[in-house]
Amino acid sequence: MKHNQITSRSIAAAAATLLSLVSPARSQEDNSDRDIYDLNPLVIVANRSEVPLNQIGSSVEILESYDLNKSEQSFLLDNIRYVPGFYLRNNGSPGGAFGITTRGLNTNTPTVLIDGVEVDNPSTGQIVNFGSLFGGNVSRVEILKGPQSSLYGANALAGVISIQTADGKTDPGSQLGVSYGAHDTINANLSTRGAEGQLSWALNLSHYEHQFSVQDPSFGPEWADKDKYENTQASLKLDYELSESTSLNFMTYWFDTLSEFDPGDPNSLFGAPELINYSETTQFFSRVGAEFKPNDQWDSSLGIAFNDADSVSVTGGSFPNDGKRYSYDWKNTYLASSTWTLVGGLEYEEEYNDSGSEIRTNSSIFLENIVAATELLDWTLGARHDDNSAYGEETTWRSTFSYRLEDINGRIRGSYGTSFQAPSFFQLFSSFGDPGLKAESGEGWDLAYEQALVDGKVYFTTTLFGNEVEDKIIFSFNSYTYANEDVYESKGIENAIRFQVAENASATLAYTYSDANYLDGQEAERVPRNIVSLGYDLQPAENLNLSATALSVSSQYSTRFSTMKQSGYTVFNLAGRYQVNEGTQLWARIDNLFDKDYQEVEGFQTAGFSIYGGVRFNF
């Protein structure tokens, strides 16, 4: 009862704070079109081919560059955490231990693609840390929820996050940005994008560093020091048009991060203050490809990708996790008729565990049918077969539907699919591993209703969802190895409403309820039952933009056998951007406006009231 009262008061305070920013309406040329929410942008991730959103049956969230930039947050993590159905957590600061819960799935992470390259660590299977990915160079994020192995294979049991970086054809220009803020935070980036004749390019360089201690300083001076975090990144994209129907493309991305951390609890094994504690990650991935059109009905692409991820954690010893992946893909989209499109392809992967001596290969074939059954009903049916040298063969499938209620500008959509999560090299072959581990198998569904009102100025959606995972891989304290020991279920509801308050103001409100349990009935860890987010965007003058957000997360168990729940929290952030002239922009941001003392991961404190600011030069 006490928690419910706290949550209610927090939500009320959030609403009052955001609504207090409302001012009389003024015209706004830059953002008025953005505030009318379009239900029909083209989406690639849902079918691996461009399809209008109102014909897609799966749940898809889209973050455009406007959505990513208005918060003035450095890291992609701090934008995705507001997506309904997602709970993201870091152990106190960017670059630390990272976790994500998607629709109640606490250990099943989405597949993450950056410009089409799968960027998890091949050694551990862990996805890239969003606390290490900058958002400033990202032009669009497409988030596909639910089981998606029929399109993307292993590790898409919890969905797919597709990140597209900016390119020279659609977003030309150069920019230099520098900023400074709380915790000795320094951030600088330089980018240049453009096109000349048949060639277009995009180059981005970024550096970030800060100092912050995430553990209790009362343990002693070793815990009271400021731990350093450094992050340097570089990326390059090239595209060359050989003809109207053929183009070559290339991308490469490199980042290096260093994160110091305090000793653990002094009473734990690795809590000794004399131990050196840090983690370091260096990752390089690249892809070269070609897109061509054999005829008017057929689009095809070929690609070769490479991913090299090296990470090490040092605390009372060195624990490296290094892996490589070579990927080869051939994808085709064929317009069989005016109402029937086929999307299919072949893929082959070689994965190397450089921390050991293991190698595994995977061959796959997939086919997706996209059918306009009637003028109002769209339907898909697809399947995929994977053959892996380490854990065997898996066949998965998915079907979706979208039915438009044109008379009332509404839509009913739904999906059902099967999926699987592959065991990692560490789970299979380490001293804690079991070579006989099976892949986790899952099935999931969702059913949604969407409605647009007032010429698209108001939009709301409500989505029911459910997931079941069999042969869930957990660490067994009976055998002290990883084992397939559990069945896991999650279900819930996602709700969101977006509306244009005035010509110069828009607001969002989202609520997610998740209920996740193991087979024995125990409530799952790291799954908050309730998450509420609020957002408000205002343009009080032509050259001034303001943004406010609030996130309220309910209590949760922090570990599998916890008896007490970790406390919930509510956090408010503010941001503003001022256009001085055509080439200069100033910005400022306040995180944790009310100096809330809270933890995303139990035992790791987060930053209190913090102010940041910077300047950008466009040329």
* Side chain identity, residue 502: A
- Mean pLDDT rounded to a whole number for the chain: 89
Grade residue 272 by pLDDT with cuts at 50, 70 and 90.
confident
* Side chain identity, residue 41: P
pLDDT tens readout for residues 53-82:
999 999 999 999 888 899 999 998 888 999
Grade residue 551 by pLDDT with cuts at 50, 70 and 90.
very high
User: Rounded CA gap, 371 and 615, in Å?
Assistant: 49
614, burial (CB in 10 Å: exposed 0-12, middle 13-18, buried 19+): buried
Domain ranges across the chain: 2-618
User: Rounded CA gap, 540 and 88, in Å?
Assistant: 32
Q: What is the pLDDT of residue 456?
A: 84
pLDDT tens readout for residues 237-252:
999 999 999 999 999 9
CATH 3.40.50.300 fits 2-618, yes or no: no
Q: What is the pLDDT of residue 561?
A: 81
CB count within 10 Å of CB 344 equals 18
Q: What is the pLDDT of residue 215?
A: 80
pLDDT tens readout for residues 21-31:
333 333 333 44
- Specify the DSSP element, H or E, that contains 222: helix 221-224
Q: What is the mean pLDDT of residues 400-420?
A: 96
Record the tokens describing residue 53, joined without a space. Answer: 């959103």
Q: What is the pLDDT of residue 269?
A: 66
Residue 224 has pLDDT above 60, yes or no: yes
pLDDT tens readout for residues 39-49:
689 999 999 99
Record the tokens describing residue 47, joined without a space. Answer: 């079918």
Residue 3 has pLDDT above 80, yes or no: no
What is the rounded end-to-end Cα distance, in angstroms, of the chain?
56
